A and B are shown apart, each in its own frame.
Chain A
Amino acid sequence: MTVRNRKKHWVGLRPLILVMALAGCGTTGQSDTLFQELGGHEGIDRIVDEFILEIANDPRVLPRFEDSNVQRFREMITEHFCMVAEGPCEYTGDSMVEIHAGMELSSPEFNAVVEDLIAAMEQSDIPLAAQNRLLARLARLRPEIIRI
């Protein structure tokens, strides 16, 4: 195959490649860090407060948190969100795998917690763009959380 032919071959895929490239650029090259977009320490504290309330009112997943120490959960999830958002924090808790190993969490349970987090961010007036940036980063951790 000549170089010219190869070039031609890709022309039809251009719109597809453009979409994928644009979709990918959502997570890079930001001047503002996600931490700032979420409202800094104050914003993350509010999200976590609302998140705990949402979980407490969600019969789909509440039983999974029965043995949790709410205060420790609050501190660790706050640190974790801050770290994931590239804020000035160090996460001092256990790894996602260590926390969830043996729980055999299901896909519906994972999605229920995602919905609780979305509701918490809505309650906290977090802009949709920042919500999606945080969710996309957390979604990558899914294999370290469910079915283990």
Chain B
Amino acid sequence: MNRCPSRQTRTGGMMLPGLLLGLLLTLPSPPAFSEGRLAGTGGVSSINGSGGGGLTGWATLAGYADTGETSGTVYASRADVDDFRLDVFGASATFSNRLEIGLARQHFTIKAADARIEQDRFTAKWRMAGDLIYGKLPQLSLGVEHGRLRDTGTALALGAADTQDTDYIISAARAWIDGLFHRTTLLNVNLRRSQANQYGILGFGGDDPGREWHAEGALAWFATRNIAIGAEYRQKPDNLSALREQSARDLFLAWFPNKRVSVTAAWLDLGAIAGQSDQTGFYLSLQAAF
């Protein structure tokens, strides 16, 4: 595995986004700020690059652009489990509460080796029908997520068939204003067609291809107008005979002090990763919307 992950020095990867966020918090709201949708309806930023939850995107579109508006987000996330770390930096734009496009860079670190694998993510999501809150039909979205590995050595050495591929996702989301215990309650379900090994970080496909369609679900409960707690579940492909892959899940707390920023913390259970079993740990994500 001599072509694999490039060695690199440890840097404070979260420092710059943190400063950026601090700066944004102190700025007054410009009048052009697109915020036609209600607080919290943009969700947070997933590690995949799509807006929604943390582990996976939802049918919701990132930011707060309503009809006729445009909005954007920038974010930084870190998932830190026993033997690995994933840092994600990304940005997205949403047009008229109809189309969301996103770009993200993932940095995956194998702690023991201090080695890194990078992946670029390109995402798009189209709201086909319905609405998250209003009307009879839940919000129905169609998403594509393209992953392209920048460091391909590890994936190829493990037997992955490809170093880039595209996921297709059908999502439905509904938020009940007067939901469980009279608190706003959101439910999202996804069906994802994917061959990604560990979100694409270990490539796509392999010598022992499993099923291609995977179920994902999320439940969020707004204890207050600004604080949501919830859980997510994500089935994953299992394509590499050498390495078993399991479903991922999390319990999260998201704080939306206003429509400009959100902070998400989660407890993660990612199952086995690259031969290391029971990978649990913490997730932290900061998002700024404008």
Contact = CB atoms under 8 A, between A and B. Distances in A.
Given A23-B185, A129-B183, A142-B134, A136 B176 contact: yes
Given A19-B180, A23-B179, A139 B66 contact: no
Interface string A126-148: 00111011011001001100000
B54 to A, nearest CB: 20
B182 A128 contact: yes
A4 to B, nearest CB: 24
Interface residues on A, range: 20 to 34
Interface residues of B, number: 27
B133 interface: yes
Contact of A132 (B36, B67, B178): B178
Interface in B10-51: 36-39
Interface in A78-125: 106-108, 111-112, 114-115, 118
Contacts of B97: 107
B219 interface: yes
The 10 closest A-B pairs by CB, nearest first: A108-B36, A129-B182, A136-B178, A108-B66, A136-B177, A132-B178, A23-B179, A23-B176, A26-B178, A107-B67
Interface of A: 16, 19-20, 22-24, 26-27, 106-108, 111-112, 114-115, 118, 128-130, 132-133, 135-136, 139, 142-143
Interface of B: 36-39, 66-69, 97, 133-135, 176-185, 187, 189, 219, 224-225
